[in-house]
Structure 1
């Protein structure tokens, strides 16, 4: 049965410091990816951003159009405290599935694994809807299973491919070589290019929503 991990659930996790996914800084795979980006005016969305160290890194490197979304207030407040000059209008306290707009790049970092697996197909479709044709979805997915009940929820690359293939061209979808030590060999680095909607393929999954 799918539990609804809503805003109150995530807010409580932050208030009780139950944030085991948070490593306190940007991780090397995303840092290396960001360092090769050249267009600092591209529209970037980081959904389910948590404390958003990725947004902090990008903003400090001069990327001016970075947007972060989360249903919990605490992580957005934490980012604003660390970077008072970060635009308040770029802090979106909002359900991912209700977001609107078109972005050039979406960053995935421990959001997908926080969703109940029953919402993963809807996540893939929503990412495609939020990206410009040719826009990129880049980041990390766990390629492992967990013994404890989620979140986080694990999975496999074969499963993930079935969600993304209708909407994306696969540029990179391989085991990350520079993961942090506890995650070595257990993460996929992905870079997917959004197809034009007219080129979407039929999906066997029925989209559903989620509250994060």
Structure 2
């Protein structure tokens, strides 16, 4: 299964971006609104059009970076937020990234990568986080597709990927999901061990 840059660029070009809510995800907005440290170094991997990055940036979080394998969504974010720093819009493969962050936001990236990479994802997340850094976001709790994204899964499966690397501070059914994702998401806050 080749989920290459070309694969994803074609999705944007043909507007086959069903994962794109067009707004900041409600559970993430609720979480962001509780954050008080505007100096946090934040990463949004596979950020797509990244309404989350836009929301954070417009609310005073200036150390927000987005990494995406495609140019198209990074350009879309730049068009919507012209003052967003270019060097924080990273065109590249998440797994090649070398930096550290205080907080990494998961929003439809995990379900977009080949499931064979999930253990590698968990390990890479740990590597990218500073001491006591947090991975916060949403995972699908549903059986979805097996041959193309989005790929689903469940809590029991996910525990196997993350328990070696993280303290699972919050790992629960999401009560405030976007309307078309009700009863299909888990909200997580994992703290680096």
2:11 to 10, 13, 20: 13
Separation in structure 1 between the aligned mates of residue 18 and residue 32 of structure 2, nearest angstrom = 24
User: What is the aligned partner in structure 2 of residue 26 from structure 1?
Assistant: 24
Separation in structure 1 between the aligned mates of residue 19 and residue 112 of structure 2, nearest angstrom = 10
1:55-94 to structure 2, matched below 5 A, reads: 55-94=53-92
- TM-score between the two structures when normalised by the length of structure 1: 0.89
User: What is the aligned partner in structure 1 of residue 42 from structure 2?
Assistant: 44
Unaligned runs of 5+ in 2: none
RMSD (Å), alpha carbons = 0.9
Change (3 A) 1:7 1:147: closer
Q: Deviations over 1:43-86 (max 9, x none)?
A: 00000000000000000000010000001000000000000000
- Three-state SS of the structure 1 residue aligned to 2:126 is helix
- Three-state SS of the structure 1 residue aligned to 2:98 is coil
Offset at 1:148?
A: 6.9
Give yes or no for the alignment of 1:176 onto 2:174: yes
Separation in structure 2 between the aligned mates of residue 159 and residue 70 of structure 1, nearest angstrom = 25
Unaligned runs of 5+ in 1: 196-212
Provide the aligned length of Structure 1 versus Structure 2. 193
User: What is the aligned partner in structure 2 of residue 210 from structure 1?
Assistant: none
Separation in structure 2 between the aligned mates of residue 176 and residue 60 of structure 1, nearest angstrom = 25
- TM-score between the two structures when normalised by the length of structure 2: 0.98
Separation in structure 2 between the aligned mates of residue 124 and residue 171 of structure 1, nearest angstrom = 15
Deviant stretches of 4+, over 6 Å = none
Q: Deviations over 1:137-168 (max 9, x none)?
A: 00000000125742000001000010000000
105-114 vs 139-148, which moves further: 139-148
Separation in structure 2 between the aligned mates of residue 126 and residue 148 of structure 1, nearest angstrom = 23
1:35-184 to structure 2, matched below 5 A, reads: 35-146=33-144, 149-184=147-182
Higher RCO (C-alpha under 8 Å, 6+ residues apart): 1
1:187-206 to structure 2, matched below 5 A, reads: 187-195=185-193
